[in-house]
Amino acid sequence: MDIATGDPTPNSKVEGGGLYVGVDGCKAGWLCFKVDLHTYETDFHILPHFADVLIDFKCANVVAVDIPIGLPQCGARACDIEARKRLGKPRSNSVFPAPTRPILRATTYEKACQKSLRTDGKKISKQAFGILSKVREVDQVTSPGLQNWVYEVHPELCFCALNDGKAMRFGKLSARGREERLKLLSNPFPQIRAQLDELERRLAGPDDLFDAAVAAWTAVRIGHKQAVHVPEVPEFDPIGLRMEISY
């Protein structure tokens, strides 16, 4: 199986092996989906902190994480705008605006909105605030050099690529959406249905497993120069982090 394309014929570039990891935030921390191309085995486990991910997978070729990396001082990131355009309605709604750097330390929604109004002229969305603690956790351990190894992805763009350029028809939390994504992932990752049965729902949901798995699929694509990066010319945030989404 060529995991990078879903083609049942192995790709000579992929046969060289390597370890690739997809990461998605979940209730218990971070769900990590591991693809070992030496053995063609996949596995997942949950770590409490993103710093643990970097330690446990320091030997990985690529780590792909579903969280904004690189935060603007104000305004929207070009990569988020481009991601929404490429997905189209209704999946474009899954791309939340990344929080701006001045609100990163806000501990309440009210404080985040106050800071956002001062620096950006508008309130932060509740969706963006909902992931703020995860964004902060990643930002604390990320550097420009680390971005040669750790990449930002967006699962819906990744699923679109896996689905021959067609965005998912149904939302990921619906029964149809779960089955749609599970069917797609079963091609590159035949063990995914069994792994879904192993998932402890109090720690993470099926959508977390699927998002991490498709992020791992994209990590393989990144490692083998098959991924797309938006925008084509990346922006950089105030501390030098690249603001781009790979899929």
Is 172 a member of any domain?
Answer: yes
Query: Of 18, 39, 22, whose CA–CA distance to 30 is shortest?
Result: 22
Mean pLDDT for the stretch of residues 194-214: 97
User: Is the preceding peptide bond at 190 cis, omega within 30 degrees of 0?
Assistant: no
In this model, does residue 62 exceed pLDDT 90?
Answer: yes
pLDDT digits (tens, 9 = 90+) for 91-133: 999 998 899 999 999 999 999 999 999 988 889 888 889 899 9
Is 216 a member of any domain?
Answer: yes
Is 189 a member of any domain?
Answer: yes
Residue 111 neighbours by CB under 8 Å, 6+ apart:
none
Q: CB count, 10 Å around CB of 74? A: 13
The pTM assigned to this predicted structure is 0.91
Is 112 a member of any domain?
Answer: no
Q: CB count, 10 Å around CB of 2? A: 18
Is 168 a member of any domain?
Answer: yes
Mean pLDDT for the stretch of residues 27-37: 97
Q: Residue 62 and residue 66: Cα distance in Å, rounded?
A: 13
Q: So what's the pLDDT on residue 97?
A: 87
Q: Are 14 and 4 in contact (CB under 8 A)?
A: yes
Is 63 a member of any domain?
Answer: yes
Instruction: Return the CATH number at 201.
Output: 3.30.420
Is 83 a member of any domain?
Answer: no
* pLDDT mean across residues, the chain: 92
Is 194 a member of any domain?
Answer: yes
Give residue 197's domain range: 14-70+143-229
Mean pLDDT for the stretch of residues 189-216: 97
User: Domains in the chain: how many in total?
Assistant: 1
In this model, does residue 221 exceed pLDDT 60?
Answer: yes
